[in-house]
Amino acid sequence: MKEPNRNFYGPDLAHVHAEDFAKYWDGAADWLADLARRVSETPFVVDIGCGDGRMLAELADRGINGQGIDVSESFVAAAKARGLEVEVGDAKNFEMPTASMIYALGEVLAYEDCSGSISLEPIVRAAASRLLSGGVLVFDVTTPAMNESMSWREANDWMVASQSSITRDNRLERQIVTFRRDGTAWRRSQELHHQKLLDNKTVEMTLRDSGFSVEILSSFGKVALPLGRQGYLAKKS
């Protein structure tokens, strides 16, 4: 079998995610909007790992402007088609604007890049310097409570299968195979994603060392976090 690439969300997987998985977070939009408004009457938000821009669009519908970044060119193209301010890039090197709220939904800060590093510490440091006083950083990570799993989903023009396994060095490895209809034929693509499994002690220490107060969450508004995921609400003093 051909070795899967480490690319994140190429055209086919990005299409599937935008059509099916991104709506999972819709129930968190009102909660996020309320958090942002508590910081400023005219809040500005930053979406790390913005995907196709669905949450930025939801917040814009609620009168909250924002900016996003994602490593996937396919995602960013879709977000720009919505008229959103987004860019392609690595969040670790992002020139963060001043913001009322910074959020990263979907274990974004636990993803490893090809060098094995993650975005948690750089984003926490950036948030500490760029958030307004009282501003908040909201994110979730994968934890050691994650289980190995296999899943399959399909629609009229796509099918996606994934297998998640836990490595000996306490990392999550997820192999994803996507089939997408291309005219009368089907196109196959494959990706390999890695995430670090982060315990509460490690994440809390990272946040507190940068001056944040920390609230541990099992849900974001109406959206309950799945087993093996932990949410954090960090507030800048």
Provide the pLDDT for residue 5.
39
**Among 3.40.50.2000, 3.40.50.150, 1.20.1640.10, 3.30.365.10, what is the CATH number of 11-143+198-236?**
3.40.50.150
Entry pTM = 0.95
Domain boundaries, the chain: 11-143+198-236, 149-193
- Does residue 36 surpass a pLDDT of 70? yes
Cα separation of 29 and 111, whole Å?
A: 23
Give the C-alpha separation, 226 to 88, whole Å.
28
Residue range 134-169, pLDDT digits in tens? 999 999 999 999 999 999 999 999 999 999 999 999
pLDDT in tens, 180-189: 999 999 999 9
Residue-level pLDDT at 85 = 98
Q: Measured over all CA atoms, what is the biggest interatomic distance in the chain, rounded to whole angstroms?
A: 57
The structural architecture, per CATH, of the domain 149-193 is Single Sheet (2.20)
> Would you say residue 4 has pLDDT above 50?
no
What percent of the chain stands above pLDDT 90? 94
pLDDT tens for residues 66-119? Answer: 999 999 999 999 999 999 999 999 999 999 999 999 999 999 999 999 888 999
Residue 213 has pLDDT above 90, yes or no: yes
Q: pLDDT band for position 226 (50/70/90)?
A: very high
The answer to whether the beta carbons of residues 172 and 142 sit under 8 Å apart is yes
pLDDT of amino acid 115: 87
Q: Reply yes or no on whether the pLDDT at 1 is more than 60.
A: no
In this structure, what token pair is assigned to residue 74? 């396919």
Is a pLDDT exceeding 50 seen at residue 6? no
Average pLDDT of the chain, as a whole number: 95
SS3 for 23-92 is: HHHHHHHHHHHHHHHHHCCCCEEEEECCCCCHHHHHHHHCCCEEEEEECCHHHHHHHHHCCCCEEECCHH
Mean of pLDDT values over 169-174: 94
Give me the phi and psi of 90, to 5 degrees please: -90, 125
Give whole-number Cα distances, 114 to 36, 111, 186, 230, in Å. 33, 10, 29, 24
DSSP secondary structure, 187-225, as one string: EEEEEEEEEE---HHHHHHHHHHTTEEEEEESEETTEEP
37 pLDDT more than 60: yes
